[in-house]
A and B are shown apart, each in its own frame.
Chain A
Amino acid sequence: MEILNIKDLSFTYPLAASPALRDISFSVNEGEFIALCGATGSGKSTLLRMLKPELSPLGEKSGSISFKARPIDTAKPSETGFVMQDPDHQIVTDKVWHELAFGLENMGMPHSAIARKTAEMASYFGIEDKFESSISELSGGQKQLINLAAVMVTEPELLILDEPTAQLDPITASELINTVKKINRDLSLTVIIAEHRLEEVIPICDKLLVIENGTVLAFGKPEDVLKQLYGYSEIMCGMPAAARISALLGENECALSVTQGRELVRKYGNEKELPENKSDNNSKRNAALAFRDVYFRYERTAPDILKGSSFEVYENEIFCILGGNGSGKTTALSCASGILRPYSGNIYVFGKKIRDYKNQSLYNECLALLPQDIMTVFLRNTVREELDDAGADISSLPFDLTPHLGKHPYDLSGGERQLAALAKVLALKPKLLLLDEPTKGLDAAAKQRIISLLRKLTADGMTIVTVTHDVEFAAECADRCALFFRGEIVSTAPPDEFFSENSFYTTAASRITRGHFRRAVTAQKAAELCKLNGLKEACV
């Protein structure tokens, strides 16, 4: 049964020169799981907001949207649910139970009905033990789960999610997506989800909607849509590794999941290997940052967060620290930047103990830290003021910020914001740059830009240490990767070796090629190996 029908929808924001959406037409059946993708600024959010009358932006609208064969404007707030990106600010009240009850209170439901429904939701989402907790005690993933539950409590018939996992780490993100899929399956609820994390979403979605510059580029079954998009590298770079390998090889059938990807690469021979680019890693290199038996805890009675952690970062390299939540990665970075002080052990920055840097000299053309929450970098009303304050020379930046100079930093998109923050940091001319989750919330294209920028900076003599959850990013950009576990580094290796030895904590490309190719940790390399070896004779 058709639940949503959009016909020739166009929309222009007031005072905008060109429309944000143009001639969009598609229809959705009840119980379908639709993934919506497109680059930042392609009109994804605008389209999703048009489907939720309370959130529809003001502007010039033409065409029609019908929901259950009625115009969408007649839909009640409880009929469509909307989950946004930011886990914190969607939450209205201070307690979990109150948040679950909020939507029902708004419907004017009696006490007994609210009690029953909130209880039902809490047990369905497995948050019974958190029912009376304060929101401030919860993690980001739990908050987003509360947001989902708080929307589901009014029993919507259409669930819209606008990048719900952008602020989450990969493990909680995949849990959330699985929960959404479970609701979709259990209740035959129609779901439309905009996502950057397509590796998870594409294999489970029924249909894929790709939009570009406000128009529908393709809509249909994911394998068919992806086949049409083989040529669009901007969009393909965010797709699952299996699909990227298919695209690079120009396969007739586009593989989506790891399983399909494995089938695909097995059709190719595996005798030849790519020439290893032996770098002179063994020659003695100077350490830009060194930890020697560093112990840290937040309070005297609290457990150790860093437990005798020791490692070295060499000059001119990109060093990626990976690891789960609460393993102490971010704490290590804060210690390295001098914000936190370890109670035992030493940290050396360019061979000098960190506590011997007096009077801000540590931050003076030496070291800078970009935190995870990039909003905290900005203090002024425009990007230009921000850069002037820091004394940045706009013309010498390795990227172009001129179109954004007059904007408020908060109005930039995630990728632009990251670049603006980097520009502010680069003005301080650091030799050692510490980055905490630089790819959080970025789309694939923005990620590629950050990777090439980091490469350029190291080529110019900078040393970069980044803490990240993003294995794909680490595989493409790092010189060396390290796994942080329970307060110390347990293994360090170049990405090829690091990810091909791990079997769970690794890239999708590595999972696809495991046991077949050696050291193919990126889709690019996997495809190159396939081409080099050619199809097996039986498959020709």
Chain B
Amino acid sequence: MRGFRELNPAVIAVYYLCVIGTAMFIMHPVIITLSLVGAVTLYITIDKKRKAGLHISFFLLFLILAVINPIWYHNGVTVLFVVNDSPITLEALLYGVFAAAMIISVLYRFRTFSMIMTADKLMYIFGKLSPKISLILSMALRYIPLMRKQTEKVRSTQKALGIYRGDNIADTLKGEIRIFSIMATWSLENGIITADSMEARGYGAQRRTSFSLFRLKVSDAVFLVLCLIPTAIVITAAVMGETDMTYYPALSAVTASPPALASYISYGILSFLPSILEWKEVLRWKYLISKI
């Protein structure tokens, strides 16, 4: 099997749907802890820059989110202390901490998602949904840098001609407006060439297919199974009420029934699966090199 990042983009998208979807709707301490630790581990595994900035800002956000709940909600039987005649309760604090942990874990997941899903992978997924959207996106991605470059060229030409870049703001502004208007003309003018080129190559002559460099391989299918089975177990346990948790007025005990235990283990697998795949790749190389 390949590393997590090399999997088919559609499979990666399904994974994120599963792991985030389940974490967001199950407010259970064990699940949330597994989710947070799994998300942070994956981020650390694939982040090459190793900067602490993101972790610090996420930690501060975590503290703020965790504190907000007990300040506003005073439900709960265990009063820790009283501020301005309002009781701060243990139940509200714990609820705040777990809700914050859930949000932060989802933020870490999104972070790794955007690191893994480059523009061409996203386009592949859009292409699966609608080939038209994917072509439009591809054309836009081609066009934006082209237009930016041309605008820069026009600006420096006009500077060297010394016509609009005066010393007063009015003149500069006038020049900028002119540049903007000519860029609109330029876009239309060149759009005609692009349209000609598309038509000359048979665009619109018949139903198109959408080609991509990504293909479904056996490892993608294996991963999909490894991802969907635990998700199914977690959802079943949740529907059965095995992972229900009451915070107010008093905390309920964490259940350890067989379905609940199965659900914890399943979510653990789901949460750590990408990191495990990535580590396995690293180890495989180390092993191969030591053999040489």
Which residues of A are at the interface with B, using a C-beta cutoff of 8 A?
52, 54-55, 76-78, 81-82, 84, 86, 88-95, 97-98, 101-111, 114-115, 118, 132, 135-136, 150-151, 154, 334, 337-339, 359-360, 362-364, 368-369, 371, 373, 375-381, 389-390, 408, 410, 424-425, 428, 434
Partner of B200, one of A54, A114, A334, A379: A54
Asked if B84 is at the interface (CB within 8 A of a chain A CB), the reply is no
A360 in contact with B167 (CB, 8 Å): yes
Q: A106-B205, A109-B209, A115-B211 are in contact. Are A89 and B190 (CB under 8 A)?
A: yes
The interface residues of chain A lying within 8 Å CB-to-CB of B189 are 410
Partner of B199, one of A54, A135, A359, A363: A54
B186 in contact with A55 (CB, 8 Å): no
Cα distance A97–B210 when bound, in Å? 12
Asked if B53 is at the interface (CB within 8 A of a chain A CB), the reply is no
The interface residues of chain A lying within 8 Å CB-to-CB of B197 are 84, 89-92
Chain B interfacial residues counted at CB < 8 A: 53
CB distance from A244 to the nearest CB of B (A): 34
B82-136 with Cβ < 8 A to chain A: 120, 131, 135
A78 in contact with B202 (CB, 8 Å): yes
Cα distance A91–B138 when bound, in Å? 11
What are 25 A-B contacts with C-beta separation under 8 Å?
A82-B200, A88-B190, A89-B190, A89-B194, A91-B197, A92-B142, A92-B198, A92-B201, A93-B142, A98-B138, A104-B209, A105-B208, A106-B202, A106-B204, A106-B205, A106-B208, A108-B206, A108-B207, A110-B209, A114-B209, A339-B156, A360-B165, A362-B162, A380-B178, A434-B160
The interface residues of chain B lying within 8 Å CB-to-CB of A98 are 138, 211
B201 in contact with A102 (CB, 8 Å): yes
Asked if B24 is at the interface (CB within 8 A of a chain A CB), the reply is no
Cα distance A428–B160 when bound, in Å? 11
- Nearest opposing residue in chain B for A109, CB measure: B209
- Nearest opposing residue in chain B for A114, CB measure: B211
Q: A89-B190, A379-B158, A380-B178 are in contact. Are A132 and B200 (CB under 8 A)?
A: no
Knowing that A376-B157, A410-B185 touch, tell me 7 more A-B residue pairs with CB under 8 angstroms.
A77-B201, A91-B194, A95-B120, A97-B213, A105-B209, A106-B205, A107-B206
B201 in contact with A91 (CB, 8 Å): no
The interface residues of chain B lying within 8 Å CB-to-CB of A390 are 161, 163
CB distance from A296 to the nearest CB of B (A): 15
Asked if B258 is at the interface (CB within 8 A of a chain A CB), the reply is no
The interface residues of chain B lying within 8 Å CB-to-CB of A338 are 160
The interface residues of chain A lying within 8 Å CB-to-CB of B141 are 94
Partner of B201, one of A103, A132, A377, A424: A103
Asked if B248 is at the interface (CB within 8 A of a chain A CB), the reply is no
Partner of A428, one of B145, B153, B162, B165: B162
The interface residues of chain B lying within 8 Å CB-to-CB of A88 are 146, 190
Partner of A376, one of B150, B190, B199, B203: B150
Asked if B182 is at the interface (CB within 8 A of a chain A CB), the reply is yes
Cα distance A136–B194 when bound, in Å? 16
The interface residues of chain B lying within 8 Å CB-to-CB of A91 are 142, 194, 197
Q: Which of B120, B156, B163, B198 has the most CB of A within 10 A?
A: B163
A425 in contact with B161 (CB, 8 Å): yes
Q: Which of B191, B194, B210, B211 has the most CB of A within 10 A?
A: B211
A359 in contact with B200 (CB, 8 Å): no
Partner of B178, one of A110, A373, A379: A379
Cα distance A111–B159 when bound, in Å? 49
A424 in contact with B161 (CB, 8 Å): yes
A94 in contact with B142 (CB, 8 Å): yes
A55 in contact with B198 (CB, 8 Å): no
- Nearest opposing residue in chain B for A132, CB measure: B213
Cα distance A101–B138 when bound, in Å? 13
